[in-house]
């Protein structure tokens, strides 16, 4: 059965349950408000089912007190949304949400010594061990997003007035994490090709030491940045950081979960990944891994003493505020993990797919690629100012014509109105879909008389 229909039926059945449950406590009878509302919603749900079955209209369901359209992006569309691609759930993760979506669905299994990463059944402890191994690190913890990983590290290493180094292409959450610890950021500039090199990292460190008289306390480097998804010299930069004895945080938001990442080989002290961005997991989720040396600090347990009425919280980790991902996000990470491990072995295929698509897009005269080229990542920034955007000048929908043409062809994820510089990702799409995408760009170009080289 179409998943949308199945879900709508489930909502209909839930509505019946609600009617039953509240039969006692709500005024009933055909004119009672609650009864009228339930009837109205039931009618909408039934109409939604018949709309889907007859293939007319976009189904919209008004959930109780809220407006919640059925989300059918992955089932009904080819989704090229750049940041959704690798966070899309696996079927196992979807099942896990149904089974473990309830509040505290992990904590009801928590036994002595009372910490999330120590729960053996279900195998949360084992998952932590495997995560660390997968990343080539000694210890790992799940966190609510990469940003919480940054925060745990900055909160451990940075004190008021300390300096941390990031780059001109670093994600804003690194800046906020440092600010949260009352530190200051100095940026390594990207070169003219939008790449962060080891030489410029060394120069920035030298400059900070010379001008400010102190050695930075942390260096954070994004393996692939969020703007271009260009690859930066993480190996070289890690070497430089070692020379100056500065701990290195490797931001793998766009790498952990899609390509092989070995923190030890890179020379990272901390590896951070984003579950919802690159590990086929529900938001918010992520991972913070550390070498054993740094694990002792960043995963330190509470030392609280004093007026705490004879209570001790000894095993709880301060930076994790005891426990982190307790339910659905954790179980989606766990359920997707075997698939994630497997898919990292096929990263080359993903590069071949994006390269194929871009070759076809570049044949549309005026289109350029703003990211480094040839590509090393499936996420790419393109510039269609001199191709698709030229149409928007005269089209009655202006720039929105483009996303609308894409949507008509069953393609979602192009930012509505964007026709100049925009990002897309082919990550995880089948070859069939990638070819269809390329044909669709051609079709739109030809429809509007843009020149396409054959």
Ligand X SMILES: Cc1ncc(COP(=O)(O)O)c(C=O)c1O
Q: Does 226 bind ligand X (CB under 6 A)?
A: yes
379 close to 82: Cβ distance less than 8 angstroms? yes
Cα–Cα distance, 352 to 443 (Å, whole number): 22
Query: Minimum distance from CB of 274 to ligand X (Å)?
Result: 3
Nearest to 285 by CA among 343, 327, 228: 327
Check residue 231 and report its DSSP letter: B
Query: Minimum distance from CB of 148 to ligand X (Å)?
Result: 7
Which region among 53-61, 74-82, 246-254, 369-377 touches ligand X (by CB under 6 A)?
246-254
Residue with Cβ nearer ligand X (38 or 164): 164
Q: Does 173 bind ligand X (CB under 6 A)?
A: yes
Element at 382 (helix H, strand E): strand 379-383
Question: Going residue by residue from 277 to 306, which x/- string records binding to ligand X, judged by CB under 6 A?
Answer: x--------x--------------------
Query: Minimum distance from CB of 171 to ligand X (Å)?
Result: 3
101 close to 282: Cβ distance less than 8 angstroms? no
Query: Minimum distance from CB of 1 to ligand X (Å)?
Result: 33
Residue 346 assigned ligand-binding role: no
Cα–Cα distance, 366 to 444 (Å, whole number): 14
| Burial (Cβ within 10 Å: 0-12, 13-18, ≥19) of residue 333 | buried
Cα–Cα distance, 82 to 163 (Å, whole number): 32
Which 112-171 positions form the footprint of ligand X (CB under 6 A)?
A: 145-147, 171
Residue 147 assigned ligand-binding role: yes
Residue with Cβ nearer ligand X (48 or 154): 154
Query: Minimum distance from CB of 222 to ligand X (Å)?
Result: 5
Report long-range pairs for 55-61 (Cβ below 8 Å, ≥24 apart).
59/4, 59/8, 61/8, 61/11
Applying CB under 6 A, among 48, 156, 251, 367 the residue interacting with ligand X is 251
Residue 251 assigned ligand-binding role: yes
Applying CB under 6 A, among 44, 222, 389, 405 the residue interacting with ligand X is 222
Residue 276 assigned ligand-binding role: yes
Q: Phi-psi bin for 51: left (phi > 0), alpha (psi -120 to 50), beta? A: alpha
Residue 19 assigned ligand-binding role: no
DSSP string, 399-425: THHHHHHHHHTTEE-SPTT--SEEEEE
166 close to 188: Cβ distance less than 8 angstroms? yes
Query: Minimum distance from CB of 223 to ligand X (Å)?
Result: 9
Query: Minimum distance from CB of 62 to ligand X (Å)?
Result: 30
Cα–Cα distance, 126 to 39 (Å, whole number): 48
Which region among 247-255, 318-326, 335-343, 371-379 touches ligand X (by CB under 6 A)?
247-255
Which 49-108 positions form the footprint of ligand X (CB under 6 A)?
A: none
Q: Does 253 bind ligand X (CB under 6 A)?
A: yes
Binding residues: 146-147, 251, 274-276
**What is the binding site for ligand X (CB under 6 A)?**
145-147, 171, 173, 222, 226, 251, 253-254, 274, 276-277, 286
Residues making up the binding site for pyridoxal 5'-phosphate? 146-147, 251, 274-276
């Amino acid at each position: 059965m179409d998943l949308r229909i199945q879900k709508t039926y489930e909502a209909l059945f839930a509505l019946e349950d609600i009617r039953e449950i509240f039969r006692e406590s709500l005024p009933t009878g055909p004119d009672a408000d609650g009864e009228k509302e339930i009837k109205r919603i039931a009618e909408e749900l039934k109409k939604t089912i018949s709309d889907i079955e007859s293939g007319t209209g976009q189904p919209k369901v008004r959930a109780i007190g809220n407006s919640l359209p059925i989300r059918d992006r992955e089932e009904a569309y080819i989704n090229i949304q750049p940041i959704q691609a690798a966070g899309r759930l696996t079927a196992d993760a979807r099942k896990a949400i149904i089974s473990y979506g309830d509040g505290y669905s992990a904590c009801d299994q928590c036994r002595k010594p009372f910490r999330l990463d120590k729960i053996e059944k279900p195998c949360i402890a084992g998952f932590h061990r495997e995560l660390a191994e997968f990343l080539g690190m000694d210890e790992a913890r799940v966190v609510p997003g990469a940003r919480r990983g940054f925060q745990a590290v900055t909160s451990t290493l940075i004190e008021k007035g300390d300096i941390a180094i990031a780059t001109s292409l670093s994600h804003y959450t690194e800046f906020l994490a440092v600010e949260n610890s009352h530190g200051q950021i100095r940026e390594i500039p990207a070169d003219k090709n939008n790449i962060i090199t080891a030489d410029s990292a060394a120069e920035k460190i030298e400059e900070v030491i010379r001008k400010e008289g102190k050695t930075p306390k942390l260096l954070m480097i994004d393996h692939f940045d969020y703007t271009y998804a260009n690859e930066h010299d993480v190996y070289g930069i890690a070497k430089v950081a070692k020379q100056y004895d500065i701990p290195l945080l490797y931001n793998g938001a766009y790498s952990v979960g899609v390509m092989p990442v070995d923190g030890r080989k890179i020379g990272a002290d901390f590896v951070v990944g984003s579950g919802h961005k690159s590990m086929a997991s529900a938001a918010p989720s992520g991972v913070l891994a550390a070498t054993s040396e740094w694990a002792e600090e960043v995963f330190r347990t509470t030392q609280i003493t004093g007026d705490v009425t004879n209570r001790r919280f000894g095993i709880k980790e301060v930076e994790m505020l005891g426990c982190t991902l307790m339910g659905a996000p954790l179980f989606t990470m766990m359920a997707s993990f075997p698939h994630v491990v497997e898919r990292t072995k096929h990263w080359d295929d993903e590069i071949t797919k994006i390269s194929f698509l871009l070759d076809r897009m570049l044949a549309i005269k005026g289109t350029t690629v703003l990211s480094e080229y040839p590509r090393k990542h499936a996420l790419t920034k393109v510039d269609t100012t001199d191709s698709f955007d030229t149409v928007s000048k005269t089209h009655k929908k202006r720039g929105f014509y483009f996303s609308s043409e894409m949507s008509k062809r069953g393609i979602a994820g192009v930012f509505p109105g964007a026709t100049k510089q925009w990002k897309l990702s082919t990550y995880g799409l089948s070859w069939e879909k990638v070819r269809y995408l390329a044909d669709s760009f051609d079709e739109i170009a030809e429809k509007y008389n843009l020149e396409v080289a054959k």
